[in-house]
Amino acid sequence: MAEAIVTMDKIVSLARRRGFVFPSSEIYGGLGSTYDYGHYGVLLKNNIRSRWFEAMVQDRDDIVAIDSAVILHPRVWEASGHVGGFTDPLIDCRTCKLRFRADKLEDANCGRKPSKRPGETPECDLTEPRQFNLMFETTVGALQEEGSRAFLRPETAQGIFINFKNVLQLARRRPPFGIAQIGKSFRNEITPGNFLFRVREFEQMEMEYFVPPGEAEQWYRYWIDERLNWYLRYGLRRSRLRVREHGPEERSHYSRGTSDIEYEYPIGWSELEGVANRGDFDLTQHAQHSATKLEYVAPDGERYIPHVIEPAVSIERIVVALLVDAYDEEVVGERERTVLRLHPEMAPVTAAVLPLVGKSDEMVSKARGLYEDLRRRHSVEYDDNGAIGRRYRRQDEIGTPWAFTVDEQTLVDDTVTVRDRDSLEQERLPIGAVRDWLDDAREREWTKNGDG
């Protein structure tokens, strides 16, 4: 069967239709590139966070967690270079009133119809480029004066660096060790867009791995492989993933090596996650600006400023990649079926419990009892509304791997039917064995259509 053509419009439509993601402030006309997550979007994001935290902290002995403040001392951003250097060149068009990045005009569309590139027609009236800082400013305290100016963090990394000394002492760690953080970041992007791919408010998952200077290159390569394998483990197809190393002209000023793990989105190959060798730039800068020593002292007296390897990703880009990779369309029994073939440990709902006849008190009682038993250990959903075929289709669209149906046979021998989302195969199980069966099924090795 031919693979379904996945477009961003299809993903946006499904996300809206099934309650994954909504445009924010929609009743007021919306606010550009800001989104709210519905129930299934929240469950999906929770699973992404949990799987990342397991891989980065829970399953390791060398990484600890932190949760730093969103608003940090303003000097943090001076030391990091964000106040002076976190800018994009900005151009306004006086004709169509749109705003563009000066270094990305070839990718932009003019606001006039038929759509053209900015500056290509005589009607275009572009301003000279000017530098635009991407940080959102805010005010700390009652008075809006210079001394109270602060910023919403554009990344979570700096909150880790300024706590290096605390973790080193209190968590009793020695390099190589890491500090991981999940939290909101904010960037006043000039040209956000492509659904969740580039938004002004996003959730980052970052880990700073502190290593002896001579080991930085080997750990840089290690974390590229480790993070790539994480995506493969949770169902992204190898054919849609690649690693692209930045050339010297692309790298940030602090970078001694940067690689993007790229995914083939409907908009083309784009960054999913970045892995950078940041050298000793960050700890050195904060040590100088704060007059605090940020170094490691070995038991033999050796002193050095550790180098840092940073894997960093936004949950939003993982959400889009998972939805795109899982989306499929097929014809089953002369009816079209849309299905999300999500990995069972990423799917918002692990299993559905369905009484075949929603008005049957006996079936409902059995189904509710099974649902109450399963919900203590899994994300499960009970649904008795509408025809069983329609309920199956709904669960397929939200990516539920298994559905347990209570039917007439259940009332005779206490067995239920389990339906597999991907193969559509069905088998009968004793109702008392369902919980153990689901535990085992969730932990089984899983591949998507044979493409691991």
| Interval 357-384 mean pLDDT | 95
250 shares a domain with 191 = yes
Residue 451 confidence class, pLDDT cut points 50, 70, 90: very low
Number of Cβ within 10 Å of residue 333's Cβ equals 7
Residue 261 confidence class, pLDDT cut points 50, 70, 90: very high
Q: What is the pLDDT of residue 450?
A: 42
Question: Is 301 among the domain residues?
Answer: yes
362 shares a domain with 226 = no
- For residue 440, the surrounding DSSP H or E stretch is helix 434-443
Domain boundary at 306, 323, 340, which? 323
Q: Is the pLDDT of residue 421 over 90?
A: yes
Strands (E), 174-283: 177-186, 201-211, 241-245, 257-265, 268-279
Q: What is the pLDDT of residue 188?
A: 84
| Interval 356-368 mean pLDDT | 94
Digit-coded pLDDT (tens) for 39-80: 999 999 999 999 999 999 999 999 999 999 999 888 898 888
| Interval 147-156 mean pLDDT | 85
Residue 122: CB partners within 8 Å, gap ≥ 6?
none
**Angle ∠(193,38,14) on CA atoms, nearest 5:** 60
Q: Which of 84, 109, 112 is CA-nearest to residue 96?
A: 112
**CATH code for position 387:** 3.40.50.800
| Interval 275-296 mean pLDDT | 94
Q: Which of 450, 51, 429 is CA-nearest to residue 227?
A: 51
Q: What is the arrangement of strands in the sheet containing 426-430, beginning at the earlier edge strand?
A: 380-382, 351-355, 402-406, 415-420, 426-430
Number of folded domains in the chain? Answer: 2
309 shares a domain with 192 = yes
Question: Is 435 among the domain residues?
Answer: yes
- Cite the DSSP H helix spans in 6-117: 8-17, 39-53, 74-80, 82-85
278 shares a domain with 233 = yes
- 160: exposed, middle or buried (Cβ count in 10 Å: 0-12, 13-18, 19+): buried
247 shares a domain with 159 = yes
Q: State which residues form the domain around 408.
A: 349-443
Residue 198 confidence class, pLDDT cut points 50, 70, 90: confident
Residue 411 confidence class, pLDDT cut points 50, 70, 90: very high
Over the chain, what is the mean pLDDT?
88
| Interval 315-332 mean pLDDT | 95
Question: Is 308 among the domain residues?
Answer: yes
Question: Is 315 among the domain residues?
Answer: yes
| Interval 162-173 mean pLDDT | 88
* Amino acid, single-letter form, for residue 85: G
SS (HEC) of 188-209 = CCCCCECCCCECCEEEEEEEEE
% the chain with pLDDT above 90: 66
381 shares a domain with 276 = no
Question: Is 164 among the domain residues?
Answer: yes
Q: Is the pLDDT of residue 258 over 70?
A: yes
292 shares a domain with 353 = no
422 shares a domain with 299 = no
Q: Is the pLDDT of residue 23 over 60?
A: yes
Q: What is the arrangement of strands in the sheet containing 257-265, beginning at the earlier edge strand?
A: 63-65, 177-186, 201-211, 307-314, 268-279, 257-265, 241-245
Q: What is the pLDDT of residue 244?
A: 96
Q: What is the pLDDT of residue 89?
A: 64
Domain boundary at 308, 323, 338, which? 323
Domain boundary at 277, 306, 323, which? 323
Question: Is 367 among the domain residues?
Answer: yes
Q: Is the pLDDT of residue 284 over 70?
A: yes
Question: Is 95 among the domain residues?
Answer: no
- Distance CA(54)–CA(346), nearest Å, equals 13
Residue 149 confidence class, pLDDT cut points 50, 70, 90: confident
* Amino acid, single-letter form, for residue 54: E
- 405: exposed, middle or buried (Cβ count in 10 Å: 0-12, 13-18, 19+): buried
296 shares a domain with 353 = no
Query: Two tokens at 330?
Result: 């097929």
Q: What predicted TM-score, i.e. pTM, was given to this entire model?
A: 0.87
% the chain with pLDDT above 70: 88
Q: What is the pLDDT of residue 252?
A: 73
265: Cα within 13 Å, side-chain hemisphere: 23
172 shares a domain with 49 = yes
55 shares a domain with 14 = yes
Q: Is the pLDDT of residue 452 over 50?
A: no
Q: What is the pLDDT of residue 110?
A: 72
| Interval 104-129 mean pLDDT | 68
Minimum mean pLDDT range among 31-40, 223-232, 318-327: 31-40
Q: Which of 289, 220, 295, 286 is CA-nearest to residue 256?
A: 220
**CATH code for position 223:** 3.30.930.10
Question: Is 128 among the domain residues?
Answer: no
Count how many residues are written for the chain.
Answer: 452
| Interval 341-354 mean pLDDT | 97
369 shares a domain with 428 = yes
Query: Two tokens at 179?
Result: 């500090």
Q: What is the pLDDT of residue 35?
A: 92
CA distances from 133 to 81, 203, 303 (A): 11, 20, 37
**Angle ∠(215,216,218) on CA atoms, nearest 5:** 70
